[in-house]
């Protein structure tokens, strides 16, 4: 799966002020049920108060990642109020011979953020708006939890999937160009939507399809569609 490669590179080039975080010193508990953090227990919300917020996940079968967590902006201990927030997850997967298999794996990886819970964090995610707001508890901040701790807890969960070979997570609390990152994230979302149409065997006239623009822009997407029509 190479459809996302150029989009991944666009995001990474825009995050040129990010730093690699040291390995986590704290091991956070992770469960398969999203925790509930009430407002009176909340230190702040990442992406809250209508602050700029964007989240996306993209995979590749021929890009190798460093199994590291990166940060651009303030760490959790430096944030005092609701903050802008970006979360970008890049994952290297096995090169499956059947593109349908790869698409199924993409959906499986995307679903992780809706049911995975890291102690001290509550996620409210929306694929349609590409927002992923995170409530951070007062207890977590008081105990000194960092983005390294949170990110490495997530990273370990992604790496548990047998078809995942490597991954990187980028957190952003200070955007150089939010609109550009949001635009690229939208293209990733549109690419995944186009794949959904393709593998659902949706037959349509390309000239009238609302996904035509992204099919024309992403190398290999239109060819994949034509290939599946012929099956």
Please report, for the chain, the start and end positions of each structural domain, with discontinuous segments joined by +. Answer: 5-176
- Separation in Å, CA 8 to CA 106, 158, 160: 15, 17, 22
Comparing C-alpha atoms, which of 218, 206, 121, 99 is closest to residue 171? 121
Q: Residue 203 pLDDT more than 70? A: no
Average pLDDT of the residues in 147-160: 96
Instruction: Check residue 70 and give its pLDDT.
Output: 98
Q: Residue 227 pLDDT more than 80? A: no
26, 121 Cβ separation under 8 angstroms: no
Pick the CATH number of 5-176 from 3.30.360.10, 3.40.190.10, 3.40.50.1460, 3.30.1650.10: 3.30.1650.10
Range among 152-156, 202-206, 224-228 with highest mean pLDDT value: 152-156
The model carries a pTM of 0.89
**b/e string for 159-198 if b means 16 or more Cβ within 10 A?**
eebebbbbbbbbbbbebeebeebbebbebbbbbbebbebb
Q: Residue 224 pLDDT more than 70? A: no
Instruction: Check residue 228 and give its pLDDT.
Output: 58
Instruction: Check residue 99 and give its pLDDT.
Output: 72
Q: Which has more pLDDT, 20 or 129?
A: 20
Q: Residue 104 pLDDT more than 80? A: yes
Q: Which has more pLDDT, 201 or 171?
A: 171
Average pLDDT of the residues in 167-196: 93
Instruction: Check residue 122 and give its pLDDT.
Output: 94
Average pLDDT, the chain: 87
Q: Residue 225 pLDDT more than 60? A: no
Q: Reduce the DSSP state of residue 49 to 3 states and report it.
A: coil
Average pLDDT of the residues in 204-213: 62
- The sign one gets for the Cα dihedral 73, 74, 80, 83 is positive
118, 150 Cβ separation under 8 angstroms: yes
């Amino acid at each position: 799966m190479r459809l996302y490669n150029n989009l991944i590179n666009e995001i990474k080039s825009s995050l040129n002020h990010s730093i690699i975080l040291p390995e986590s010193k704290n091991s956070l508990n992770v469960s398969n049920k999203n925790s509930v953090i009430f407002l009176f227990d909340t230190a702040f919300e990442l992406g809250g108060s209508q602050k700029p917020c964007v989240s996306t996940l993209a995979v590749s079968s021929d890009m190798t990642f460093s199994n590291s967590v990166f940060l651009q902006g303030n760490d959790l201990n430096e944030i005092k109020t609701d903050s802008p927030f970006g979360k970008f997850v890049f994952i290297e997967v096995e090169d499956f011979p059947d593109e349908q298999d790869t698409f199924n794996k993409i959906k499986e990886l995307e679903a992780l953020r809706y049911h995975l819970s890291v102690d001290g964090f509550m996620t409210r995610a929306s694929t349609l708006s590409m927002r992923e707001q995170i409530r951070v508890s007062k207890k977590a901040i008081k105990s000194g939890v960092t983005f390294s701790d949170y990110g490495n807890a997530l990273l370990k969960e992604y790496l548990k999937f047998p078809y995942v070979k490597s991954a990187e997570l980028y957190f952003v609390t200070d955007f150089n160009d939010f609109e550009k990152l949001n635009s690229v994230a939208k293209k990733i979302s549109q690419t995944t939507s186009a794949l959904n149409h393709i593998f659902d065997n949706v037959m349509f006239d390309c000239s009238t399809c609302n996904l035509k623009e992204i099919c024309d822009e992403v190398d290999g997407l239109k060819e994949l569609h034509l290939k599946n029509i012929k099956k």
